[in-house]
Amino acid sequence: MTAPKKLFIKTYGCQMNVYDSERMAGALAASGYETAERPEDADLILLNTCHIREKAAEKVYSELGRLKPLKAAKPDLKIGVAGCVAQAEGEEIMRRQPAVDLVVGPQAYHRLPQMEATLREGGRAIDTDFPEEDKFDHLPAARGPKARRAPTAFLTVQEGCDKFCAFCVVPYTRGAEVSRPASRILSEARDLVERGVVEITLLGQNVNAYHGQGQGGPWSLARLIRELAGIDGLKRIRFTTSHPNDMGDDLIAAHAEVDKLMPYLHLPVQSGSDRVLKAMNRKHTAAQYLDILARIRAARPDIALSGDFIVGFPGETEEDFRATLDLCEKVRYAQAYSFKYSARPGTRAAGRDDIPEEVKSERLARLQAVLARHQAEFQQAMVGRTLPVLLEKPGRMPGQMVGRSPYLQAVHMKAGQDQAGQIVQARIVSAEPNSLAAELA
């Protein structure tokens, strides 16, 4: 009997890449691959890359450099680069790093078995096309249909972006907005629930732009959420990442009316300055963004808000930056992500005059101080409250479990491992910047 081949996938970046890595593993299972825990044990190593953050490509090349000695010691080892860096760099990856055997873009994962067969025949394989066929039509179902899953799972419902923000590479690496048919999403969700999943996070580059075909015509994300809420055993629904311009009334209403939809919304704004927002091609103003948040809070008063910010965008003045600080004071985010602007080749802003690095760093420090203060206030406000906590996995201490609150906070508490997947009532006894401590209520 032939020993199974081993596959090791290192995943960078967002939750969509986590989901994609699972599907790539499923696609290669048909070629006889099982998952390896370490790269040293693998016959095929895939780096599933992200191109959003600064120097993303250089980090991938650095990782490939670390893998080069492993391949020298194990000549039959195959190395592949997948994801957005693969899409952006293409053949340049193979030219710059000859140890790479395979390069595959995000829309061609379903072709991995054919590409792997090319490797076995001694060739190299590259596919960074945007194929006409939908990869989800060809990717197999997750391996082991009856295998138990962790209580939470990601489920991609939409990919790509048509917004063309001036700083963003996503339209170039993921392509135009495409939504999966509702029936396939519902089927995959039911399968996840049958295998122990009780919370599903719906994923998309612009997830609230979802317009997949459903019964009676295209469905909105709100319609999809309402249908998912009807699945017995599914207890929690989340979605990310959203664009303000796609936050329709029906989705706001769903936050008020669908109990399974968690009171947490990640809605990036990037800047509080209308002048900068226009330069970013965001197609909304700060006032319009705040109006959306006001309507969401009216529908779901306990909602926790999260956001993204870029500081030091080309042309940003001190007055522009102070407008961002003012917006943060008005919103008081429960959580937020903030970064210094860095140019991405091929994007609209890439050729514009940059702001000095020391100015960016100083502004980022000021913004993060404000955001950290608001997050600490939100965390501290949890102390003394009783929250439903979904227990997910063992903690670092014996007899401890880690779960998630409705607001996506990590919660540490005493509980048995056999309680994984259960939602328990927990009284919050203390708060840290990024987690809560609780005891059974």
CA distance 261 to 267: 15
Residue linked to tokens 């003012």: 326
**Paired tokens of 342:** 């860095």
User: Within 10 Å of residue 92's Cβ, how many Cβ atoms?
Assistant: 12
- Is 168 annotated for ligand binding? yes
310 membership: H or E segment, kind and range: strand 304-311
- Kindly give the residue spans of alpha helices, DSSP state H, lying in 76-181: 84-89, 91-96, 112-120, 135-138, 170-173
Q: What is the dihedral of CA 362, 368, 370, 373, to 10 degrees?
A: -140
Taken in order 7, 11, 15, 17, the sign of the CA dihedral is negative
Residue at 327: amino acid letter:
L
Task: Identify whether the C-beta of residue 364 lies closer than 8 Å to the C-beta of residue 339.
Answer: yes
**Paired tokens of 243:** 């664009």
Residue at 388: amino acid letter:
P
* CA distances (Å), origin 158, targets 25, 153, 155, 161, 431: 20, 16, 9, 9, 35
Which stretches does DSSP call E strand in 248-347? 264-266, 304-311, 335-340
Angle at 10 between CA 8 and CA 15, to 5 degrees: 125
Annotate 336-350 with b (16+ C-beta within 10 A) or e (fewer). bebbbbbebeebebe
Q: Any bridge partners for residue 428, and if so which? A: 438
- Is 328 annotated for ligand binding? no
- Per the annotation, binding residues for [4Fe-4S] cluster are 14, 50, 84, 161, 165, 168
- Per the annotation, binding residues are 14, 50, 84, 161, 165, 168
